[in-house]
Amino acid sequence: MNMDLDKFNKALNSLPLDKIIEKGKEQQELAKKDFEELKSSLSEGKCHYCNNDIAHFSDKKPCLHWLLKPNGFKKKHFPILYNNKSFHQMNAYLRWIANIESPMININDLVEEGSSNKFIEETIKYKNLEWSFSCSKNDRVGHKDKYDGTFPHYHFQMKVDGLVIINYNGFHIPFANYDEFCFGVKDEKIDRLRFRTTLGAGMQSLFDSFSSEELLDNMKNSGEDDKKQFNLQTLVEADEGTTISGDEIADMIEEHKRTGVPLAKLLRKIKNVKSTTYICPGPSVPEKATREPNRSKSDNDL
């Protein structure tokens, strides 16, 4: 990495704090505008960045919309893109695209569903497309004892209609200087900058931002099992020396079906009962795409 974070930090600390805050607000407003323009262009089948149709492809003009599988884009073209666009540029773009369709639930970046050996592990979906990023702790520093991937890198997988067209082990993708700067901000190595994900927020941000009670208070039954954002599991226990009325439970179930209010919330009405509710991602949240370390390279080059 060429960027000296210590030098940058020192330079930033020398600037007036009010100027830094003002600049931060300007960047937030620009991001909101950029997001809305991206959303508007996408609805018209256009790319916000190159102004071509989403289906347009030219290997002479790498653009982020290649990740939406325009006509002619193949696995062999992917290095052209990642050599021109950083991890954080591609990741942010895909998060925005996913959140245009359905905020947060299209992005599985949940820490509890990941491996302790992973520095990055997330899966993003949009319509019939699915993208996954993976970086182990060894990938992060580079494989010094191997022929490939001796530099800090990550892996990428892309699916269309469930079919893998770019496989994890196809490429060792180097992190750019901009990526290292972003990682430095995330690690709080820059005193006056904090990394936040808002427009590109995923499921982890949802669970970080709201308590279980707050999530429960805002839930309603979708009526369609395959579109549920959350699965709820509730353990009901009567206070010592008391019993739970079957009729009351039956009434709660009927009210739940009629109103859509979660059963876990309705159970609070029953006296002398303790209930514990576990909130888990529902079927509409994509599963993290696992990476097989010894999988041979695919010949698929759609």
Write down the pTM of the prediction.
0.87
pLDDT (0 to 100) of residue 45: 97
Q: What pLDDT was estimated at residue 295? A: 42
Residues 6+ positions from 222 with CB-CB distance below 8 Å: 228, 229
pLDDT value for 214? 87
* Confidence at 298, pLDDT banded by 50, 70, 90: very low
| Average pLDDT rounded to a whole number, residues 257-285 | 85
**Are 238 and 244 within 8 A, CB to CB?**
yes
Q: How far apart are CA 154 and CA 171, in angstroms?
A: 8
Query: What percent of the chain is predicted at pLDDT more than 90?
Result: 64
Closest C-alpha to 123, from 140, 138, 106: 106
Which phi and psi angles does 234 have, rounded to 5°?
Answer: -120, 125
Residue 22: pLDDT over 90? yes
- Rounded to 10 degrees, the C-alpha dihedral 284/90/66/39 comes to 60
Q: What's residue 302's pLDDT?
A: 42
Is the Cα torsion angle 135, 136, 142, 148 positive or negative in sign?
A: negative
pLDDT tier, 136 (very low <50, low <70, confident <90, very high otherwise)? very high
Q: How far apart are CA 87 and CA 49, in angstroms?
A: 17
pLDDT confidence of residue 245? 81
The conformation of residue 287, written as its DSSP 8-state character, comes to P
In the chain, what are the domain boundaries?
5-202, 230-281
| Three-state SS at 93 | helix
pLDDT digits (tens, 9 = 90+) for 70-122: 999 999 999 999 999 999 999 999 999 999 999 999 999 999 998 899 999 99
- Round to whole Å and give the CA distance between 135 and 156: 9
The CA distance from 253 to 239, in Å, is 21
| pLDDT bucket at 240, cuts 50 / 70 / 90 | confident
pLDDT value for 249: 83
Are 244 and 270 in contact, with CB atoms under 8 Å apart? yes
